[in-house]
Amino acid sequence: MRRRSFHPVLVFLPAICFAAMAAAPASAQTARGDAPPAHNYICPHSDDKTPLECYFDAIPHLYTMCKHVKTIEIIEFGYEHATEGTHGAKSEYCVTKQKQNIAKPYQGALREAGISQQAAEAMKGLQDYWVVSMTELAWRPGESDADYKTRTTEPYDRFKERIAGIKEILAIVKSRTTTPAPTAPKAREKTKR
């Protein structure tokens, strides 16, 4: 009879494979290979906070994400060629995706700001400004590097100003609004028939 000899590494191959699979992070072990985003992907600094705080956190965070994507395109292709052909597809997709991502926090924040028509209007203005800022991340012909960086950094200050204004409006409304005292439920009168 002929004996088969295995290379010593082949004997341990199943154990090595099992160890590698066990060491992989749980987020990488999904059915399709696409790990879902973390629960705080949209508003990373607002765990256990109100929808309004989540929205206020999401505004600069999602803007930054698309600003980084645009920066990568500029580094890769240069200012003049960053939007030629399909070069700008990543940043266009980013803007579309972040508009979808912010929809739920925005709706929750609008409900919360609904105690004041002025606050609700300011929220709509903030959202509109955010969308415009996202679409204006592209370089403008003739713009210098310093001008581009200044222009695309400026929205952060406007976001802070608008958010502070909305918070102030809501604080004033809440301080002037009295909540009705809870009433005791009326005892049911028993009627005999």
Which residue is associated with the tokens 């600094």? Answer: 45
Q: Is the pLDDT assigned to residue 178 strictly greater than 70?
A: no
Q: In the chain, pLDDT over 70 holds for what percent of residues?
A: 71
Q: Are 122 and 166 in contact (CB under 8 A)?
A: yes
Instruction: Write out the E strands in the chain.
Output: none
Q: What are the pLDDT digits (tens) for 5-49? A: 555 544 554 554 455 454 444 444 334 455 545 557 788 877 778
Q: In the chain, pLDDT over 90 holds for what percent of residues?
A: 55
pLDDT of residue 187: 53
pLDDT of residue 151: 96
Higher-confidence residue of 37 and 88: namely: 88
Distance, in Å, from the CA atom of 55 to the CA atom of 58, rounded to the nearest integer, reads 5
Q: What is the mean pLDDT of residues 123-145?
A: 95
Distance, in Å, from the CA atom of 72 to the CA atom of 82, rounded to the nearest integer, reads 9
Q: What three-state secondary structure class fits 92?
A: helix
* For the chain, domain boundaries: 52-77+86-175
pTM (global) more than 0.85: no
Q: What are the pLDDT digits (tens) for 156-175? A: 999 999 999 999 999 999 99
Per DSSP, 116 falls in state: -
pLDDT of residue 12: 52
> 43-47, 76-80, 95-99, 115-119: which range is least confident on average?
43-47
Angle at 78 between CA 73 and CA 84, to 5 degrees: 70
